[in-house]
Each structure stands twice: as C-alpha cells, then as structure tokens.
Amino acid sequence: MRYAQLGQTGLYVSEICLGTMTFGGEEGGFWRVIGQLGQNEVDELVGRAVAAGVNFFDTADVYSYGLSENRLGQAFKNLDVRREDVVIATKVYGAVGPQPNNRGASRGHIMDSVKGSLERLQTDHMDSRPTTLS
C-alpha cells in the first residue's frame, strides 16, 4: 500500500480510502437502495481493508441515519483495530433531523454533529485537516 500525507496534518493515509456509505441501510428509503451491509459484513470488509494496508476510512453522520458510523466504530472494536492505526474522516452539513438547526454549517450544528459522531464511532477524536480563513 502506498501512503500520502494528508494536507498539512502530518498524518499519512493510504491512497485507498474505504468509504462507508453502504454500511447499514435497514431503515429503508434512500439508504436501503445504497446498501444494507450488516455488522458481520462490515467487520469482514474492514478487516480485509486493514489487512491490505488501508488506514483511511470515510463516513458521514447522514449515512444510514448514523448507522454507518455505528457499524464502522463497532468493526474497529470487534477487530481490535487500534485507534492510532486508522484515520477517520466524517462529515457534517446534511440534515440529520427535521428541525432547522439539524443541518448546515452553523457552529451549533457542527458541535452537535461532532458529539454524535464521536459517540457512534466509539472514539474520542476524528482526524481532520486544519483550515485557515483568509
């Protein structure tokens, strides 16, 4: 596996990133069409990826209404993957509820989304690229 530095973070990530949009999907609707991978299937897929050298995983709080993050975090736990051996990227912005502040890039929504994502991923931090505003 080849690795590249992620922006200016100092982190090195595999050139292949495993996206998790297909994890979950039991709730129906759009996510059911995208994918319905259960925990056993997710464990197998993540295990194979890690064995191949993949250390970069992408998810989002909206994927399967948060179930994707649950499945990824549980897979890391089930497979005894050390947190320091993986780089986790997740996203906020999309609607995660019916209220007007359940979406967007407001500080409140970002903070609420990060808290929820950390709980679902069963971790204490996410990896991100520092940004500067000019």
Radius of gyration of the chain (CA): 15
Told to judge if 63 belongs to the known catalytic residues of this protein, a careful annotator would answer yes
Q: Which of 3, 12, 63, 93 is catalytic?
A: 63
Q: Considering only CA atoms, which of 90, 123, 88, 129 is closest in space to residue 5?
A: 129
Contacts of 4 (CB under 8 A, 6+ apart): 12, 13, 15
Is 128 a member of any domain? Answer: no
Q: What is the pLDDT of residues 91-126, one digit of tens each?
A: 888 888 888 888 888 898 888 888 999 999 999 988
Locus of tokens 């990060």 = 114
pLDDT of residue 128: 60
Q: For residue 33, is it within any domain?
A: yes
pTM, entire model? 0.89
Is residue 104 in a domain?
Answer: no
Per the CB < 8 A criterion, the answer to whether 118 and 124 are in contact is yes
Residue pLDDT, tens place only, 17-67: 999 999 998 877 888 888 899 999 999 999 999 999 999 999 999 899 899
Q: Which domain holds residue 39?
A: 3-90+116-121
On whether residue 65 sits in a domain, the answer given is yes
Contact criterion met (CB below 8 Å) for 79 and 50? yes
Distance CA 92, CA 112 (A): 10
- What is the rounded distance in angstroms from the CA atom of residue 126 to the CA atom of residue 109? 16
The answer to whether residue 97 is domain-embedded is: no
Domain count, the chain: 1
Residue with tokens 């994890």: 23
- Residue in 33, 106, 99 with CA at minimum distance from that of residue 63: 33
In a domain, 101, yes or no: no
Whether 105 maps to a domain, the answer reads: no
In a domain, 130, yes or no: no
